[in-house]
Amino acid sequence: PATNLAAASALPDVISVDDDSYAYPCLDQSALDVGAASARQRSEVSGKGVLVAIIDSGIDWRHEDFRTAEGKTRIKYILDLSLAGTYYGGRIITEEEINQALASNGDTGHHDYAGHGTHVAGIAAGDGSSGGHYGLYCGMAPEADLVIVKATRQTAVSSFKSSDQIIALSFIDSVAAVLNQPYVANLSFGGHAGAHDGTSPVERYIDQLVGVNKPGKVIVTVAGNDAENAIHAFATAGGSGSRMEVNIPPYAAKPGSDNDRVQIDGWYSGTKKITLTVVSPNGLTYGPVPAGQYIDKSGADGSVYVWNGYYAENNGYVVGVNPFNGDREFYVDISDAGGMAPKPGIWTIRLTGDAADVHAWIAHTSFDAVFAAGNVNTHKVAIPGTSKNALCVAAYPTKETWDDADGHHLTIDSRGTIKIGAIASFSSPGPARYSSPTKPDLAAPGQIIASALSQFAGLDSPSSIFTSGNADYPRAFLLSDGRHAMSSGTSMAAPHVTGAVALILQKHPTATATQVRTMLAASARTAANQDALRWGAGKLDVVALLQVDPGEEIAPTFSLAPAFPNPFHQITCFTFQLPIDHSGGTRTTVTIHNGLGQKVKSLLEEKRSAGSYSVYWDGRDDLGYRLASGVYLVVFKYGDKRRVMKVTLLN
């Protein structure tokens, strides 16, 4: 008994006497691999006082893994954009409403039909309590508070518009400010429409929200699952021309029009001009389309819509270079818009003109189109994973098999490609279209991961991620307790890092995303045959992570670099740095004025917070027309600060 401990410690063979401690199993194998339970025990952290925000398909708010020992919810707020309400058309559900529904066996109206959001939330912050406190499937930060955003406008569809992603991030930031809590937000989704260089609208918003001198805010994203998919092409255009090829496989055309298509998004330097020509499998030619022009043409092999050298502005498109990266964008849409289904086979995109490096991605396809000629297995990290200030997570496996609810011993490894300790075969490789930081940032477990199951994600539902599609094993992904299930993807890797960051923020609540990135890189375990384009800094190690000190950051001040080049012909760049601003950002404008002082071009008009930014000007006005040679004034305004510089345009 404890009363005899003093006497026992005096015995000659006793080396030491310590208090009892408890170790808990976590998420089956994955959390064990990254050392979650050991780290929590050693550092005495559990995520308490930290907000874990999940932007996804929703959550099963009744699930025991998200409730306290007293049965109360750990969810502070749910924003459901699929329910009609007053917050940007969505409905806010409060902690009090959830607890009332739990107590009365009522309903909030919010449901997760895909199961994706519930599974992700369980990894980041579930406590596995379906079988008892800190159960077998305990997540990374089991005492963190939760904020959930269902960021789709459709009840059972898991696709998220960029505008709704920004609404979700803004909501989370506001909630954290009201509750005065640090937060980490998880975005387990991505796409390929954009430049892959951090300049998409969502990525720009992320980079304003988190980063240098923005304490207690971190955002975690995914690398994506496209390593085995030919969705990226690269070619060097030139005078004699080069090409990319898109292979449309045989497919069953859908009834009607404008629903079978492949969309290709491409980018090249704004200092160059190239011409695109699209050729169908039967040799029909669509184009040529020089920079600054477009075509919309239908033929026997389908409809082709191409524009080249435009950028989005004020809900429309304007001729010129993108002001946020100085590049030209092109877009190719091969579809049945004109009533004729796109012809299966090889579609060729010819590239002629100036010598230029050209990147292109398949942004959307309804019939599994892939690149043939030009296909390269790099630059596949999904947007918003190429945000500079977000953490981007790759995946690796920690198990090869599992037992389902019916006792079957199963695997998804029919080809023998799952290797414990190797990168997951599907995990998308970097880099982004910039040199630093490296993307992905690091890797975490993401293959065959056990976590919480939404009761609304039916095993036979087409919207559920747990539908096996195998009549012999209809409950293949359901685990024996009936409350947890298996899933795979970088979507499951990211919340391991999200939960780990919640533990950091409990210990260091004012740490910034920049400091957290440095801590994760410094503590990561080296993988066998580690390639930075697949692994980033290596494997997540939570025990080592919590031993790293955040260090200090240098506060930025307001400064403006000289325009480069100046004078210029094609394009010039303006780089400026903004100071710390704790109000959530200050209105910042960059405008171009002619010699008479008349504004001819608006390059930037939005709130910006601390950080370094670049905007580009290609010598065009707001209508897209090329301006005359001469001296122009560039006016920078940041709050009550104003700076003016001169640039010379030579035509």
Instruction: Kindly state the DSSP code that residue 333 receives in the 8-state scheme.
Output: E
Q: Does this chain's domain 232-370 share its CATH topology with 559-649?
A: no
More confident residue, 24 or 472: 472
Among 364-368, 444-448, 640-644, the minimum mean pLDDT is found in 640-644
Is the previous residue joined to 565 through a cis bond, with omega within 30 degrees of 0?
A: yes
Yes or no: say if 410 and 473 are a contact pair by the CB < 8 Å rule: yes
* Distance separating alpha carbons of residues 561 and 308, to the nearest angstrom: 31
Mean pLDDT of 80-102: 97
Q: Is the pLDDT at 366 greater than 80, yes or no?
A: yes
Q: Where are the domains of the chain?
A: 30-226+384-545, 232-370, 559-649
Among 116-120, 236-240, 380-384, the minimum mean pLDDT is found in 236-240
Q: Is the pLDDT at 8 greater than 70, yes or no?
A: no
Calculate the CA 28 to chain-centre distance. 26
Can you give the pLDDT at residue 420?
87
Q: Kindly tell me the sign of the dihedral angle through the C-alpha atoms of 114, 120, 122, 125.
A: negative
Can you give the pLDDT at residue 20?
29
- Give kind and range of the element (H or E) at residue 94: strand 91-94
Instruction: Kindly state the DSSP code that residue 638 receives in the 8-state scheme.
Output: E
Can you give the pLDDT at residue 14?
37
- For residue 240, give the nearest of 271, 275, 284 by alpha carbon: 275
* Distance separating alpha carbons of residues 139 and 37, to the nearest angstrom: 9
- For residue 190, give the nearest of 400, 422, 394 by alpha carbon: 394
Q: Which two tokens stand for residue 349?
A: 């995109």
Q: Is the pLDDT at 7 greater than 90, yes or no?
A: no
The predicted-structure confidence for 411-436, as pLDDT tens digits, reads as follows: 887 777 788 889 999 999 999 998 78
- Residue 264, CA distances (Å) to 69, 261, 307, 629 in order: 51, 10, 11, 35
Mean pLDDT of 318-324: 90
Yes or no: say if 610 and 557 are a contact pair by the CB < 8 Å rule: no
Instruction: Kindly state the DSSP code that residue 326 receives in the 8-state scheme.
Output: S
Neighbours of 557 (CB within 10 A): 10
Q: Categorize the per-residue pLDDT at 581 as very low, low, confident or very high, splitting at 50, 70 and 90.
A: low
Q: Categorize the per-residue pLDDT at 133 as very low, low, confident or very high, splitting at 50, 70 and 90.
A: low
Can you give the pLDDT at residue 1?
45
Can you give the pLDDT at residue 310?
94
Q: Kindly tell me the sign of the dihedral angle through the C-alpha atoms of 236, 242, 248, 249.
A: negative
Neighbours of 327 (CB within 10 A): 24
351: amino acid identity, one letter: L
Q: Is the pLDDT at 23 greater than 50, yes or no?
A: no
- For residue 609, give the nearest of 639, 569, 567 by alpha carbon: 639
The predicted-structure confidence for 349-364, as pLDDT tens digits, reads as follows: 999 999 899 999 999 9
61: amino acid identity, one letter: W
Yes or no: say if 397 and 419 are a contact pair by the CB < 8 Å rule: yes
For 491, the 3-state DSSP assignment is helix
Can you give the pLDDT at residue 589?
92
* Distance separating alpha carbons of residues 40 and 503, to the nearest angstrom: 8
Strands (E), 401-534: 401-403, 409-411, 442-447, 449-452, 484-487
* Distance separating alpha carbons of residues 401 and 446, to the nearest angstrom: 14
313 by Cβ neighbours in 10 Å (0-12 / 13-18 / 19+) ranks as middle
Can you give the pLDDT at residue 22?
24
- For residue 506, give the nearest of 182, 76, 74 by alpha carbon: 182
Yes or no: say if 211 and 513 are a contact pair by the CB < 8 Å rule: yes
The domain made up of 559-649 is a member of CATH 3.30.470.20: no
Can you give the pLDDT at residue 605?
87
Calculate the CA 582 to chain-centre distance. 25
Mean pLDDT of 208-217: 92
The predicted-structure confidence for 584-625, as pLDDT tens digits, reads as follows: 567 889 999 999 999 999 998 888 777 778 899 999 998 888
The pLDDT > 90 percentage for the chain reads 73
Residue reference for tokens 């010819």: 350
Can you give the pLDDT at residue 134?
75
Mean pLDDT of 42-49: 94
Beta bridge partners of 616: 573
**Which CATH number is associated with domain 232-370?**
2.60.120.1290
The predicted-structure confidence for 138-173, as pLDDT tens digits, reads as follows: 999 999 999 999 999 988 877 899 999 999 999 999
Q: Which two tokens stand for residue 101?
A: 């529904």
Q: Is the pLDDT at 532 greater than 80, yes or no?
A: yes
Q: Categorize the per-residue pLDDT at 4 as very low, low, confident or very high, splitting at 50, 70 and 90.
A: low
Instruction: Kindly state the DSSP code that residue 26 receives in the 8-state scheme.
Output: B
Is the previous residue joined to 431 through a cis bond, with omega within 30 degrees of 0?
A: yes
* Distance separating alpha carbons of residues 8 and 163, to the nearest angstrom: 66
Q: Is the pLDDT at 244 greater than 80, yes or no?
A: yes
Q: Which two tokens stand for residue 352?
A: 């002629």
Q: In terms of DSSP bridges, do strands 442-447 and 391-397 run parallel, antiparallel, or are they unpaired?
A: parallel
Q: Which two tokens stand for residue 126?
A: 């579930």
Mean pLDDT of 447-457: 94
* Distance separating alpha carbons of residues 613 and 323, to the nearest angstrom: 11
Residue reference for tokens 């580009």: 616
Q: Is the pLDDT at 17 greater than 80, yes or no?
A: no
Average predicted confidence (pLDDT) for the chain: 90
Sequence-distant (≥ 6) Cβ neighbours of residue 519 within 8 angstroms:
504, 511, 545, 548, 550
**Which CATH number is associated with domain 30-226+384-545?**
3.40.50.200
- Please compute Rg for the chain using Cα positions: 26
Yes or no: say if 561 and 636 are a contact pair by the CB < 8 Å rule: no
* Distance separating alpha carbons of residues 171 and 147, to the nearest angstrom: 9
The predicted-structure confidence for 258-308, as pLDDT tens digits, reads as follows: 999 999 999 999 999 999 999 999 999 999 999 999 999 999 999 999 999
For 243, the 3-state DSSP assignment is strand
The predicted-structure confidence for 26-44, as pLDDT tens digits, reads as follows: 355 787 788 788 888 889 9
